[in-house]
C-alpha cells in the first residue's frame, strides 16, 4: 500500500458473463479522508465497493483494506470495515435498540457492552427518543441514520457508504452529511458512492470518476472543475442599444450572446479585480451594465464533460 493509503486497489477487473464491469480500476483512499466514487449508472461503482468489502471476488488485480488483502485475508478485512448499502438493512419488526443490540452481540460485545454501545450511538444519531419504537414506524431518514449507527457498533476504521442518502429529503440528507463529516474528522476513512454531485462536492476530500469500468479522472473537486473549464462572467443590459454596442465593443471576447435576455458571457479568472476591470471598461464607454452574474464550473460540468465519451454519449 502507498503511504497512509488505507484502501487501495490496483488493476481491478470484473465481468459478469460477456459484460465487463471493471476494466482495470486503480484506487487509493488516504487515512481519515472521504473519497467519493462517481460515475454513470453501470460505471462499476457498486461492484468496486462489493469487491473491497469481500462480497465479490475480482477476476484480476489486487486490493487491500486496512493492510489486509481482500482475497488472502477476507476475515480480517471484514473486521476492519463497516458497510452501509443503498437500502437500510434493519429489521422493521424490532425496535431501534433491539436492532443495535443484536448487531453488538454479533460483534461479541456481550449483552451489557452491546446495550451500552447501542445507547451511545442512538443518542449520537438523534434516535434516543425513538429507541424503543419498532423500526417500521421510523421515517426514511431515521432508518438511514439507524443503519449507519449499526455500521459503527464495532468502531471500524474504514466505512463504505454506497449511495447512503438515496431517496432522503433535504433535511435528512443534511443530517447524514454532518454525521459523515464528523466521522472523518474523528479519523475514520470513508469511501462514498453517490449519484448526488452536490453531495460529493460537499463531503469529499478527493473524487474518483469512473466510466465504463475505468478511472477517467481523479483529484479534488476544485481541481476537476478547473480542468473542464474557466469561470465566466455574464453581463446583463437594460437597454437594447447598450447590449448591441457592448457586443460590438467586446467582439471576440464574448463566448455567448443571449439577445432575448440582453446578456453577454465572457471568460474570466473569477477574481474581483478582473470583474471590476470589465465593468470599468463598460462604464468608460458609457455602457450601463444592469446586473452581473459569475458562473463557476460545477461537478455537473465535470460529469457531463468527461463521462460517456467512448460510446458517443452526450458530453
Whether pTM > 0.95 for this model: the answer is no
Total count of residues recorded for the chain: 315
Does the residue 237 lie in any domain? yes
For residue range 18-42, what is the model confidence (pLDDT) as tens digits? 999 999 999 999 999 999 999 998 8
C-alpha cell at 223: 481541481
For residue range 201-245, what is the model confidence (pLDDT) as tens digits? 999 999 999 999 999 999 999 889 888 777 889 999 999 999 999
For residue range 1-14, what is the model confidence (pLDDT) as tens digits? 555 789 999 999 99
For residue range 113-140, what is the model confidence (pLDDT) as tens digits? 999 999 999 998 889 999 999 999 999 8
Torsions phi, psi of 313, nearest 5? -70, 165
Residue 23, beta-bridge partner list: 13
Same domain, 126 and 161: yes
Does the residue 82 lie in any domain? yes
Cα separation, 161 vs 36, whole angstroms: 9
Whether residue 215 contacts residue 27, with contact meaning beta carbons closer than 8 Å, is answered with yes
Same domain, 218 and 286: no
For residue range 255-278, what is the model confidence (pLDDT) as tens digits? 899 999 999 999 888 788 988 999
Helix or strand (DSSP H, E) at 42: none
Whether residue 151 contacts residue 159, with contact meaning beta carbons closer than 8 Å, is answered with yes
Structural domain containing residue 266: 230-296
Same domain, 205 and 241: no
Neighbours of 60 (CB within 10 A): 13
Whether residue 223 contacts residue 313, with contact meaning beta carbons closer than 8 Å, is answered with no
DSSP string, 94-145: SBHHHHHHHHHHHTT--HHHHHHHHHHHHHHTT-GGGTTSBGGGS-HHHHHH
Same domain, 169 and 290: no
Amino acid at each position: 500500500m502507498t503511504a497512509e493509503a488505507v484502501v487501495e486497489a490496483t488493476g481491478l477487473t470484473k465481468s459478469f458473463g460477456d459484460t465487463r464491469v471493471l476494466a482495470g480500476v486503480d484506487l487509493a483512499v488516504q487515512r481519515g479522508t472521504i473519497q467519493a466514487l462517481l460515475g454513470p449508472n453501470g460505471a462499476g461503482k457498486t461492484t468496486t465497493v462489493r469487491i473491497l468489502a469481500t462480497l465479490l471476488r475480482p477476476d484480476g488485480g489486487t486490493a487491500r483494506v486496512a493492510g489486509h488483502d481482500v482475497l488472502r485475508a477476507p476475515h480480517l478485512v471484514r473486521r476492519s470495515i463497516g458497510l452501509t448499502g443503498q437500502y437500510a438493512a434493519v429489521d422493521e419488526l424490532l425496535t431501534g435498540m433491539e436492532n443495535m443490540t443484536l448487531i453488538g452481540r454479533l460483534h461479541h460485545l456481550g449483552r451489557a457492552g452491546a446495550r451500552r454501545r447501542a445507547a451511545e450511538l442512538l443518542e449520537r444519531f438523534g434516535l434516543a427518543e425513538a429507541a424503543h419504537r419498532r423500526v417500521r414506524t421510523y421515517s426514511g431518514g431515521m432508518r438511514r441514520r439507524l443503519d449507519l449507527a449499526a455500521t459503527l457498533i464495532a468502531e471500524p476504521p474504514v466505512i463504505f457508504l454506497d449511495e447512503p442518502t438515496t431517496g432522503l429529503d433535504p433535511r435528512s440528507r443534511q443530517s447524514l452529511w454532518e454525521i459523515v463529516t464528523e466521522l472523518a474528522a474523528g479519523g475514520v476513512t470513508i469511501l462514498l458512492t453517490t449519484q448526488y454531485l452536490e453531495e460529493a462536492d460537499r463531503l469529499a476530500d478527493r473524487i474518483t470518476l469512473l466510466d465504463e469500468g475505468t478511472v477517467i479522472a481523479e483529484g479534488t473537486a476544485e481541481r476537476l472543475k478547473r480542468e473542464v473549464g474557466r469561470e465566466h462572467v455574464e453581463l446583463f443590459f437594460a437597454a437594447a442599444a447598450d447590449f448591441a454596442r457592448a457586443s460590438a465593443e467586446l467582439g471576440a471576447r464574448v463566448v455567448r450572446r443571449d439577445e432575448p435576455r440582453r446578456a453577454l458571457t465572457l471568460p474570466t479568472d473569477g477574481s474581483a479585480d478582473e470583474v471590476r476591470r470589465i465593468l470599468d471598461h463598460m462604464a468608460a464607454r458609457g455602457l450601463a451594465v444592469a446586473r452581473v452574474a459569475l458562473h463557476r464550473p460545477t461537478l455537473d460540468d465535470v460529469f457531463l464533460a468527461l463521462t460517456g465519451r467512448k460510446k458517443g454519449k452526450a458530453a
